[in-house]
Structure 1
Amino acid sequence: MRLILLGPPGAGKGTQAQILVQTYGIPQLSTGDMLRAAIAAKTPMGLEAKAIVDRGDLVSDAIVSGIISDRMDEPDCANGFILDGFPRTIAQADALTHMLDRKGLHLDAVIEIKAGADILVERIINRARESGGARADDNEEVLRKRLGVYEEQTAPLVKYYTERGLLKSVDGMQPIEEVTAAIRQALQ
Protein backbone atom coordinates (compact mmCIF):
# COMPACT_ATOMS: atom_id res chain seq x y z
CA MET A 1 0.00 0.00 0.00
CA ARG A 2 1.36 3.41 -1.01
CA LEU A 3 -0.10 6.33 0.94
CA ILE A 4 0.37 10.05 1.45
CA LEU A 5 -0.57 11.68 4.74
CA LEU A 6 -1.55 15.34 4.32
CA GLY A 7 -2.31 17.83 7.03
CA PRO A 8 -0.96 20.94 8.70
CA PRO A 9 1.93 20.83 11.21
CA GLY A 10 0.77 19.18 14.43
CA ALA A 11 -2.30 17.50 12.92
CA GLY A 12 -1.11 14.04 13.99
CA LYS A 13 0.44 12.77 10.77
CA GLY A 14 3.45 11.30 12.57
CA THR A 15 1.30 9.58 15.19
CA GLN A 16 -1.04 8.09 12.60
CA ALA A 17 1.88 7.10 10.35
CA GLN A 18 3.37 5.03 13.19
CA ILE A 19 0.04 3.23 13.65
CA LEU A 20 -0.15 2.56 9.89
CA VAL A 21 3.45 1.27 9.93
CA GLN A 22 2.43 -1.30 12.55
CA THR A 23 -0.85 -2.16 10.81
CA TYR A 24 0.47 -2.61 7.26
CA GLY A 25 4.15 -3.42 7.87
CA ILE A 26 5.32 -0.65 5.54
CA PRO A 27 7.79 2.15 6.36
CA GLN A 28 6.99 5.78 7.04
CA LEU A 29 8.98 8.04 4.75
CA SER A 30 9.04 11.27 6.72
CA THR A 31 10.87 14.06 4.96
CA GLY A 32 10.99 15.89 8.28
CA ASP A 33 12.73 12.95 9.97
CA MET A 34 15.08 12.47 7.02
CA LEU A 35 15.96 16.17 6.99
CA ARG A 36 16.41 16.29 10.79
CA ALA A 37 18.77 13.28 10.50
CA ALA A 38 20.79 15.09 7.81
CA ILE A 39 20.86 18.23 9.98
CA ALA A 40 21.98 16.25 13.04
CA ALA A 41 24.69 14.52 10.98
CA LYS A 42 25.79 17.98 9.73
CA THR A 43 25.96 16.76 6.15
CA PRO A 44 26.33 19.52 3.53
CA MET A 45 22.66 19.06 2.60
CA GLY A 46 21.78 19.02 6.30
CA LEU A 47 23.52 22.32 6.97
CA GLU A 48 21.78 23.89 3.98
CA ALA A 49 18.43 22.48 5.10
CA LYS A 50 18.96 23.68 8.73
CA ALA A 51 19.18 27.33 7.70
CA ILE A 52 16.02 26.97 5.62
CA VAL A 53 14.03 25.06 8.29
CA ASP A 54 15.08 27.48 11.05
CA ARG A 55 13.48 30.30 9.03
CA GLY A 56 10.26 28.26 8.75
CA ASP A 57 10.67 27.95 4.98
CA LEU A 58 10.47 24.79 2.85
CA VAL A 59 13.53 22.92 1.60
CA SER A 60 13.95 22.88 -2.22
CA ASP A 61 12.00 20.37 -4.30
CA ALA A 62 15.21 18.96 -5.79
CA ILE A 63 16.67 18.08 -2.38
CA VAL A 64 13.45 16.55 -1.07
CA SER A 65 12.62 14.64 -4.29
CA GLY A 66 16.10 13.13 -4.42
CA ILE A 67 15.89 11.96 -0.80
CA ILE A 68 12.44 10.41 -1.39
CA SER A 69 13.32 8.71 -4.68
CA ASP A 70 16.42 7.08 -3.21
CA ARG A 71 14.48 5.98 -0.12
CA MET A 72 11.71 4.37 -2.22
CA ASP A 73 14.34 2.13 -3.81
CA GLU A 74 15.23 0.56 -0.44
CA PRO A 75 14.08 -3.09 0.03
CA ASP A 76 11.71 -2.25 2.92
CA CYS A 77 9.58 -0.16 0.52
CA ALA A 78 8.87 -3.11 -1.80
CA ASN A 79 5.35 -3.61 -0.38
CA GLY A 80 4.59 0.09 -0.04
CA PHE A 81 5.26 3.14 2.10
CA ILE A 82 3.64 6.08 3.83
CA LEU A 83 4.76 9.52 2.68
CA ASP A 84 4.61 12.06 5.50
CA GLY A 85 5.60 15.62 4.65
CA PHE A 86 5.88 15.03 0.91
CA PRO A 87 4.57 16.25 -1.44
CA ARG A 88 4.02 19.75 -0.05
CA THR A 89 3.40 21.57 -3.33
CA ILE A 90 1.74 20.92 -6.67
CA ALA A 91 5.20 20.86 -8.29
CA GLN A 92 6.29 18.14 -5.82
CA ALA A 93 3.05 16.21 -6.45
CA ASP A 94 3.74 16.28 -10.20
CA ALA A 95 7.35 15.20 -9.56
CA LEU A 96 6.08 12.36 -7.34
CA THR A 97 3.64 11.19 -10.02
CA HIS A 98 6.45 11.09 -12.61
CA MET A 99 8.81 9.41 -10.12
CA LEU A 100 6.23 6.69 -9.38
CA ASP A 101 5.49 6.24 -13.10
CA ARG A 102 9.22 5.72 -13.79
CA LYS A 103 9.29 3.09 -11.02
CA GLY A 104 6.10 1.40 -12.29
CA LEU A 105 4.24 2.32 -9.07
CA HIS A 106 1.05 4.21 -8.15
CA LEU A 107 -0.54 5.75 -5.06
CA ASP A 108 -3.38 3.88 -3.35
CA ALA A 109 -4.73 6.83 -1.35
CA VAL A 110 -4.04 10.29 0.06
CA ILE A 111 -5.29 10.73 3.62
CA GLU A 112 -5.97 14.33 4.67
CA ILE A 113 -5.98 14.85 8.44
CA LYS A 114 -7.99 18.04 8.98
CA ALA A 115 -7.26 20.27 11.98
CA GLY A 116 -7.87 23.89 13.04
CA ALA A 117 -4.92 26.31 13.29
CA ASP A 118 -5.48 27.60 16.84
CA ILE A 119 -5.77 24.10 18.28
CA LEU A 120 -2.64 23.07 16.38
CA VAL A 121 -0.65 25.97 17.85
CA GLU A 122 -1.75 24.92 21.33
CA ARG A 123 -0.88 21.26 20.62
CA ILE A 124 2.60 22.03 19.33
CA ILE A 125 3.43 24.52 22.09
CA ASN A 126 2.47 21.79 24.59
CA ARG A 127 4.57 19.23 22.67
CA ALA A 128 7.57 21.57 22.88
CA ARG A 129 7.01 22.15 26.61
CA GLU A 130 6.69 18.41 27.33
CA SER A 131 9.76 17.46 25.25
CA GLY A 132 11.91 20.24 26.65
CA GLY A 133 11.68 22.21 23.38
CA ALA A 134 13.72 19.68 21.43
CA ARG A 135 12.69 21.01 18.03
CA ALA A 136 13.73 24.51 16.94
CA ASP A 137 10.55 24.80 14.84
CA ASP A 138 8.25 24.23 17.87
CA ASN A 139 7.72 27.88 18.78
CA GLU A 140 4.60 29.92 18.10
CA GLU A 141 6.09 32.43 15.66
CA VAL A 142 7.73 29.80 13.44
CA LEU A 143 4.68 27.56 13.77
CA ARG A 144 2.28 30.28 12.60
CA LYS A 145 4.57 30.90 9.64
CA ARG A 146 4.60 27.14 8.86
CA LEU A 147 0.79 27.07 9.05
CA GLY A 148 0.67 30.02 6.63
CA VAL A 149 3.07 28.25 4.26
CA TYR A 150 0.93 25.10 4.54
CA GLU A 151 -2.26 26.99 3.64
CA GLU A 152 -0.61 28.75 0.72
CA GLN A 153 1.44 25.92 -0.79
CA THR A 154 0.20 22.57 0.53
CA ALA A 155 -3.57 22.99 0.92
CA PRO A 156 -3.96 23.11 -2.92
CA LEU A 157 -2.95 19.42 -2.90
CA VAL A 158 -6.42 18.65 -1.49
CA LYS A 159 -7.98 19.75 -4.79
CA TYR A 160 -5.17 18.10 -6.80
CA TYR A 161 -5.72 14.67 -5.23
CA THR A 162 -9.52 15.03 -5.07
CA GLU A 163 -9.51 15.52 -8.86
CA ARG A 164 -7.52 12.27 -9.18
CA GLY A 165 -9.96 10.36 -6.99
CA LEU A 166 -7.32 9.62 -4.33
CA LEU A 167 -8.22 11.96 -1.44
CA LYS A 168 -9.87 10.69 1.76
CA SER A 169 -10.41 13.26 4.55
CA VAL A 170 -10.63 12.55 8.28
CA ASP A 171 -11.22 14.83 11.28
CA GLY A 172 -7.88 15.15 13.08
CA MET A 173 -9.43 16.89 16.09
CA GLN A 174 -10.85 13.61 17.44
CA PRO A 175 -9.01 11.38 19.94
CA ILE A 176 -6.13 9.40 18.36
CA GLU A 177 -8.07 6.11 18.35
CA GLU A 178 -11.02 7.69 16.51
CA VAL A 179 -8.73 9.26 13.89
CA THR A 180 -7.11 5.83 13.41
CA ALA A 181 -10.53 4.18 12.98
CA ALA A 182 -11.56 6.85 10.44
CA ILE A 183 -8.35 6.29 8.45
CA ARG A 184 -8.84 2.49 8.45
CA GLN A 185 -12.40 2.95 7.21
CA ALA A 186 -11.25 5.35 4.49
CA LEU A 187 -8.71 2.78 3.28
CA GLN A 188 -11.25 -0.05 2.93
Structure 2
Amino acid sequence: MLNIVLFGPPGAGKGTQSQKLIEKYNLIHLSTGDLLRSEIAAGSELGLKAKSLMDNGILVPDEVVIGMIANKVKEHSTASGFIFDGFPRTVPQAQSLDKLLQENETEITAMLALQVDDEELTNRLLLRGQTSGRPDDQNEELIRKRVQEYNTKTAPVADYYTGQGKFFAVDGIGEIDEIFGQLCQHIDSLKQ
Protein backbone atom coordinates (compact mmCIF):
# COMPACT_ATOMS: atom_id res chain seq x y z
CA MET A 1 0.00 0.00 0.00
CA LEU A 2 1.33 3.43 -0.98
CA ASN A 3 0.62 6.03 1.72
CA ILE A 4 1.82 9.57 1.06
CA VAL A 5 1.75 12.64 3.27
CA LEU A 6 1.82 15.61 0.90
CA PHE A 7 3.30 18.43 2.90
CA GLY A 8 3.93 22.12 2.43
CA PRO A 9 2.82 25.57 3.46
CA PRO A 10 -0.33 27.29 2.17
CA GLY A 11 0.13 28.08 -1.52
CA ALA A 12 2.87 25.50 -2.14
CA GLY A 13 0.76 23.63 -4.72
CA LYS A 14 -0.44 20.67 -2.66
CA GLY A 15 -3.95 20.73 -4.14
CA THR A 16 -2.68 20.73 -7.71
CA GLN A 17 -0.10 18.02 -7.13
CA SER A 18 -2.32 15.80 -4.98
CA GLN A 19 -4.89 15.55 -7.79
CA LYS A 20 -2.19 14.46 -10.24
CA LEU A 21 -0.79 11.90 -7.75
CA ILE A 22 -4.26 10.51 -7.01
CA GLU A 23 -4.88 9.93 -10.70
CA LYS A 24 -1.47 8.40 -11.47
CA TYR A 25 -1.23 6.08 -8.45
CA ASN A 26 -4.95 5.42 -7.87
CA LEU A 27 -4.87 6.77 -4.32
CA ILE A 28 -7.72 7.66 -1.97
CA HIS A 29 -7.63 11.35 -1.01
CA LEU A 30 -7.98 11.92 2.72
CA SER A 31 -8.49 15.60 3.42
CA THR A 32 -9.33 16.32 7.04
CA GLY A 33 -11.53 19.26 6.04
CA ASP A 34 -13.49 17.09 3.60
CA LEU A 35 -13.77 14.31 6.18
CA LEU A 36 -15.18 16.66 8.80
CA ARG A 37 -17.73 18.07 6.37
CA SER A 38 -18.85 14.61 5.15
CA GLU A 39 -19.14 13.15 8.68
CA ILE A 40 -21.21 16.18 9.74
CA ALA A 41 -23.42 15.86 6.64
CA ALA A 42 -23.88 12.14 7.30
CA GLY A 43 -24.90 12.85 10.90
CA SER A 44 -22.47 10.23 12.23
CA GLU A 45 -21.57 10.09 15.91
CA LEU A 46 -18.13 11.57 15.18
CA GLY A 47 -19.69 14.18 12.88
CA LEU A 48 -22.18 15.28 15.54
CA LYS A 49 -19.37 15.55 18.10
CA ALA A 50 -17.26 17.59 15.66
CA LYS A 51 -20.18 19.88 14.77
CA SER A 52 -20.93 20.54 18.44
CA LEU A 53 -17.31 21.54 19.05
CA MET A 54 -17.05 23.64 15.89
CA ASP A 55 -20.33 25.42 16.65
CA ASN A 56 -18.77 26.49 19.95
CA GLY A 57 -15.57 27.72 18.28
CA ILE A 58 -13.50 24.84 19.63
CA LEU A 59 -10.93 23.04 17.50
CA VAL A 60 -11.82 19.44 16.77
CA PRO A 61 -9.50 17.30 18.93
CA ASP A 62 -7.00 14.87 17.43
CA GLU A 63 -8.89 11.78 18.60
CA VAL A 64 -11.99 12.82 16.64
CA VAL A 65 -9.97 13.50 13.48
CA ILE A 66 -8.07 10.22 13.89
CA GLY A 67 -11.40 8.44 14.36
CA MET A 68 -12.64 9.84 11.06
CA ILE A 69 -9.43 8.82 9.29
CA ALA A 70 -9.67 5.34 10.86
CA ASN A 71 -13.18 4.96 9.44
CA LYS A 72 -11.98 5.88 5.95
CA VAL A 73 -8.94 3.59 6.12
CA LYS A 74 -11.16 0.67 7.15
CA GLU A 75 -13.76 1.57 4.51
CA HIS A 76 -11.06 1.45 1.80
CA SER A 77 -8.98 -1.46 3.13
CA THR A 78 -8.34 -2.79 -0.39
CA ALA A 79 -7.22 0.58 -1.81
CA SER A 80 -3.86 1.03 -3.53
CA GLY A 81 -3.06 3.62 -0.88
CA PHE A 82 -3.88 7.02 0.54
CA ILE A 83 -2.72 10.58 0.16
CA PHE A 84 -3.04 12.55 3.39
CA ASP A 85 -3.85 16.24 2.89
CA GLY A 86 -3.87 18.65 5.82
CA PHE A 87 -2.88 15.90 8.23
CA PRO A 88 -0.78 15.32 10.25
CA ARG A 89 -0.15 18.90 11.36
CA THR A 90 1.63 18.07 14.63
CA VAL A 91 4.03 15.39 15.83
CA PRO A 92 1.36 13.84 18.14
CA GLN A 93 -0.95 13.59 15.11
CA ALA A 94 1.85 11.90 13.11
CA GLN A 95 2.40 9.43 15.96
CA SER A 96 -1.34 8.69 16.12
CA LEU A 97 -1.46 8.20 12.36
CA ASP A 98 1.48 5.77 12.52
CA LYS A 99 -0.30 3.78 15.25
CA LEU A 100 -3.56 3.70 13.27
CA LEU A 101 -1.81 2.53 10.09
CA GLN A 102 0.16 -0.14 12.00
CA GLU A 103 -3.15 -1.47 13.35
CA ASN A 104 -4.23 -1.79 9.70
CA GLU A 105 -0.95 -3.48 8.74
CA THR A 106 0.41 -0.59 6.70
CA GLU A 107 2.51 2.54 7.23
CA ILE A 108 3.40 5.93 5.77
CA THR A 109 5.56 5.34 2.71
CA ALA A 110 6.84 8.90 2.41
CA MET A 111 6.31 12.51 3.29
CA LEU A 112 6.76 14.56 0.14
CA ALA A 113 7.30 18.21 1.00
CA LEU A 114 6.82 21.01 -1.50
CA GLN A 115 9.27 23.72 -0.54
CA VAL A 116 8.55 27.30 -1.56
CA ASP A 117 10.05 30.47 -0.05
CA ASP A 118 7.82 32.81 1.95
CA GLU A 119 7.79 35.63 -0.63
CA GLU A 120 6.70 33.29 -3.44
CA LEU A 121 3.98 31.84 -1.18
CA THR A 122 2.69 35.32 -0.37
CA ASN A 123 2.59 36.26 -4.06
CA ARG A 124 0.85 33.00 -5.03
CA LEU A 125 -1.79 33.35 -2.33
CA LEU A 126 -2.50 36.97 -3.19
CA LEU A 127 -2.89 35.92 -6.84
CA ARG A 128 -5.15 33.02 -5.83
CA GLY A 129 -7.15 35.44 -3.72
CA GLN A 130 -8.07 37.42 -6.84
CA THR A 131 -9.97 34.41 -8.24
CA SER A 132 -10.75 32.14 -5.28
CA GLY A 133 -13.02 34.48 -3.37
CA ARG A 134 -11.29 33.30 -0.18
CA PRO A 135 -10.82 36.29 2.14
CA ASP A 136 -7.81 34.60 3.81
CA ASP A 137 -6.01 34.73 0.42
CA GLN A 138 -6.60 38.46 -0.05
CA ASN A 139 -4.99 39.92 3.07
CA GLU A 140 -1.18 40.03 2.93
CA GLU A 141 -0.81 40.36 6.70
CA LEU A 142 -3.05 37.32 7.26
CA ILE A 143 -1.16 35.34 4.62
CA ARG A 144 2.19 36.08 6.28
CA LYS A 145 0.69 35.04 9.63
CA ARG A 146 -0.54 31.71 8.13
CA VAL A 147 2.87 30.99 6.61
CA GLN A 148 4.58 31.82 9.93
CA GLU A 149 2.13 29.55 11.75
CA TYR A 150 3.03 26.75 9.36
CA ASN A 151 6.76 27.38 9.80
CA THR A 152 6.59 27.25 13.59
CA LYS A 153 3.90 24.65 14.32
CA THR A 154 3.63 22.30 11.36
CA ALA A 155 7.19 22.14 10.05
CA PRO A 156 8.41 20.01 13.04
CA VAL A 157 6.39 17.13 11.55
CA ALA A 158 9.02 17.06 8.78
CA ASP A 159 11.67 16.31 11.42
CA TYR A 160 9.55 13.42 12.67
CA TYR A 161 9.49 11.78 9.23
CA THR A 162 13.15 12.66 8.60
CA GLY A 163 13.93 10.57 11.68
CA GLN A 164 12.16 7.65 10.00
CA GLY A 165 14.00 8.19 6.69
CA LYS A 166 10.68 9.02 4.97
CA PHE A 167 11.07 12.76 4.31
CA PHE A 168 11.71 13.94 0.74
CA ALA A 169 11.86 17.61 -0.22
CA VAL A 170 10.87 18.79 -3.68
CA ASP A 171 11.34 22.32 -5.00
CA GLY A 172 7.80 23.66 -5.35
CA ILE A 173 8.82 26.45 -7.74
CA GLY A 174 8.72 25.68 -11.44
CA GLU A 175 6.43 24.13 -14.02
CA ILE A 176 3.61 21.99 -12.59
CA ASP A 177 4.61 18.95 -14.67
CA GLU A 178 8.30 19.26 -13.70
CA ILE A 179 7.38 19.32 -10.01
CA PHE A 180 5.04 16.36 -10.56
CA GLY A 181 7.86 14.47 -12.27
CA GLN A 182 10.11 15.01 -9.24
CA LEU A 183 7.39 13.76 -6.88
CA CYS A 184 6.88 10.66 -9.04
CA GLN A 185 10.61 9.94 -9.10
CA HIS A 186 10.65 9.79 -5.30
CA ILE A 187 7.55 7.58 -5.18
CA ASP A 188 8.79 5.23 -7.90
CA SER A 189 12.18 4.84 -6.20
CA LEU A 190 10.40 3.78 -2.98
CA LYS A 191 8.17 1.24 -4.71
CA GLN A 192 11.15 -0.79 -5.99
Please confirm whether the aligned pair reaches a TM-score higher than 0.5, indicating the same fold: yes
Residue 32 of structure 1 aligns with which residue? 33
Q: Secondary structure at the match of 2:169?
A: strand
Q: Aligned partners of 2:135, 2:56: CA distance in 1, in Å?
A: 11
SS at match of 2:137: coil
**1:148 matched to which residue of 2?**
148
Between the aligned partners of 1:59 and 1:22, the Cα distance in structure 2 is 30
After TM superposition, give the deviation of residue 28 of structure 1 in Å: 1.3
Q: Say if 1:119 and 1:41 are closer, same or farther in 2 by CA, change over 3 A.
A: farther
Which residue of the partner structure matches residue 88 of structure 1? 89
Q: How well do the aligned residues superpose, as a CA RMSD in angstroms? A: 2.6
Aligned-partner Cα distance in 1 for 2:20–2:55: 28
Q: Which has the larger radius of gyration?
A: 2
Do the aligned partners of residues 63 and 128 (structure 1) sit closer, same or farther apart at CA in structure 2, a change above 3 Å counting? farther
Q: Which moved more, 1:63-72 or 1:82-91?
A: 63-72
Q: Once the 2 structures are TM-superposed, how far is the Cα of residue 37 of structure 1 from its aligned partner?
A: 5.2
Displacement after TM superposition at 1:83 (Å): 0.4
> Which deviates more, 152-161 or 35-44?
35-44
In structure 1, the partner of 2:128 is 127
Q: Deviations over 1:82-130 (max 9, x none)?
A: 0011101001011111111111111111101101122112212221211
SS in structure 2 of the partner of residue 87 of structure 1: coil
Deviation of 1:146 after TM superposition, in Å, equals 2.2
Give the C-alpha shift of residue 47 in structure 1: 6.4
CA change 1:46–1:173 in 2 (3 A) is farther
Once the two structures are TM-superposed, the CA of residue 52 in structure 1 deviates from its matched residue by 5.3
CA distance in 1, matches of 2:34, 2:84: 11
**Structure 1 unaligned runs (5+)?**
none
Cα contact 1:168–1:186 (8 A) shared by 2: yes
Farther-moved stretch of structure 1 (162-171 vs 144-153):
144-153
Corresponding residue for residue 101 of structure 1: 102
Q: Deviations over 1:55-84 (max 9, x none)?
A: xxx643223222212121223762211001
Name 1:182's counterpart in structure 2.
182
Residues 2, 47 of structure 1: alpha-carbon distance in 2 compared, 3 angstrom cutoff: same
Between stretches 38-47 and 9-18, larger displacement belongs to 38-47
Structure-1 residue corresponding to 2:173: 173
Runs of 4+ in 1 over 2 A off after TM superposition: 32-53, 75-78, 135-146
- Alpha-carbon distance between aligned partners in 2 of 1:179 and 1:83, rounded to the nearest angstrom: 18
Q: Aligned pair in 2 of structure 1 residues 63, 137: CA closer, same or farther (>3 Å)?
A: farther
Structure 1's 7 and 49: CA in aligned 2 closer, same or farther, altered over 3 A? farther
Is the 1:6–1:111 contact (alpha carbons within 8 Å) kept by the matching residues of 2?
yes
Q: 2-side partners of 1:49 and 1:158: how far apart?
A: 28
Aligned-pair identity in percent equals 40
Q: TM-score, normalised by structure 1?
A: 0.84
Separation of aligned partners in 2, 1:124 and 1:47: 31
Count of matched residue positions in the alignment of Structure 1 and Structure 2: 182
Q: Note if contact 1:7-1:113 (Cα within 8 Å) is conserved in structure 2.
A: yes
Q: Are residues 181 and 21 of structure 1, via their aligned partners in 2, closer, same or farther at CA, if it must alter by over 3 Å? A: same
Query: How many angstroms apart in 2 are the aligned matches of 1:60 and 1:21?
Result: 27
**Do the aligned partners of residues 99 and 138 (structure 1) sit closer, same or farther apart at CA in structure 2, a change above 3 Å counting?**
same
C-alpha contact (below 8 Å) 2:28/2:79 kept by paired residues: no
